[in-house]
Amino acid sequence: MEKFETYAKNKTALINNFLKDYIKNYQGHVSQRFGPLLESMDYSLGGEGKRLRPLLIVASAECVGIPEEDILPAACAMEYIHTASLVHDDMPAMDDDDMRRGKPSNHKKFGEPIALLTGDALLTEAFGLMAQLQGRGRFSTEQILSAIELLVHYTGVRGMMGGQLLDVTAEHPTYNLPEVEFIHIHKTGALILGSVLLPTRLKMVDADLVLKLRRYGEAIGLAFQISDDLLDSEASIRYSRGPRKKPKPCYSHFMSATEMRQKVNGLVDSAVDNVSPLGHKAEPLISIAEFIRNRKS
Ligand code: GRG
C-alpha cells in the first residue's frame, strides 16, 4: 500500500500549486490597493499546514471515481475554510495564540483588523472556488449546489461554528466527557467528515458507499481531535503553535494518555474496517487514517 508520506507529498504539491495560482490570478485582476488582504490570506494559507482536509477530499474522490483535477477547486475551498477558522481561532477573543503553522499567527503579523478580514475573505472566497466546479463541465448544477449545501452544513451552525460556540462558552467546572466529545465532533470532526463526504455529492454513488465513508469520516474526525489533545498534553510547547494561554475542553482532563491512545486506536481501526471492503480504491483513505493514528504533528 502507498505510504501516507508518498501520497501526501504528491497530492500536497498539486493542492499547493492550485492555492498559489488562485491567489496569483487574483493579484493580477484586482486593484493593487487590495494587495495587503491577498498577502495576508497567502501568509495564513502557507507555512506548515498538513492539508489534511483537501487530501481527504482528493482521497475520497478517488474512492468514488472523480479525477483529482476535477475536485481540486472543492479541495482548496475546504482548505480556505479551515484556514479562515485558524485565523479567527488564534485571535485574542478566542484562543489567543501567538503562533500558527510554525510562524506568528495572522493577527500578530498583520494586526487584528486585517486578521478579521482575512478570515472573512477566505471564508467568502471558498464559495467562489466552489463555483469554479461549474466551469469544468463535469458536474451538474444540482450536484454543485448539493456540495455547497454540504459545505454549509459542516462549516456553519450545525457543524464547526456550532462546536466552536460550545468550545468558547464551556463552563469548565461543569463540563464532562460526553460534552467534550460533542464539542470535538462538531468543532473539529465536522470539517473532516464533510471533506470525506463532499465528493459523494458530485457523483451518483450508492447509499452503502456513502454509509461506509460516513463511518470512516466520523471515526477519523474524532480520532484527529483526540490525537491533537494527546499531542498537546505530551508537549511542553505545542507543535507549530507555542504555549496554550487559555484552558480548553479536552480529553486529557478525563483520560490518561494511555486511555486516549487506546481510544484513537479503536477509532482508527473502525475507520479502516469500514473502508477496507472497497479494495485498492480506499488505500489513500486508509493511509490517511494510519497517519492520524501515528501522527507526531
Ligand atoms: C471563520 C470559518 C470561520 C470559523 C469561525 C474560529 C472558528 C469559527 C472555529 C475554529 C475551529 C477550530 C480551529 C478547530 C480546531 C481544529 C484543529 C484541530 C485544527 C488544527 O488542524 P490541523 O492540525 O492544522 O490540520 P494544519 O495547520 O496542519 O492545517
Per-residue pLDDT tens digits for 48-67: 899 999 999 999 999 999 99
Ligand 1 centroid–CA 87 distance in Å is 8
User: For residues 246 and 238, what is the distance between their CA atoms, to the nearest angstrom?
Assistant: 13
Place 179 in a pLDDT band, splitting at 50, 70 and 90.
Answer: very high
Task: Output helix, strand, coil percentages for the chain, rounded to the nearest 5.
Answer: 75, 0, 25
pTM comes to 0.96
pLDDT at 239: 66
Q: At which residue does the C-alpha cell 460534552 appear?
A: 179
Pocket residue to mutate for ligand 1, from 188, 195, 224, 232, most atoms within 8 A of Cβ: 188
Distances (CA, A) of 77 to 84, 192, 230, 256: 11, 13, 28, 36
Q: At which residue does the C-alpha cell 466520523 appear?
A: 218
CB 105 less than 6 A from any atom of ligand 1: no
Sign for the pseudo-dihedral over CA of 149, 37, 21, 161: negative
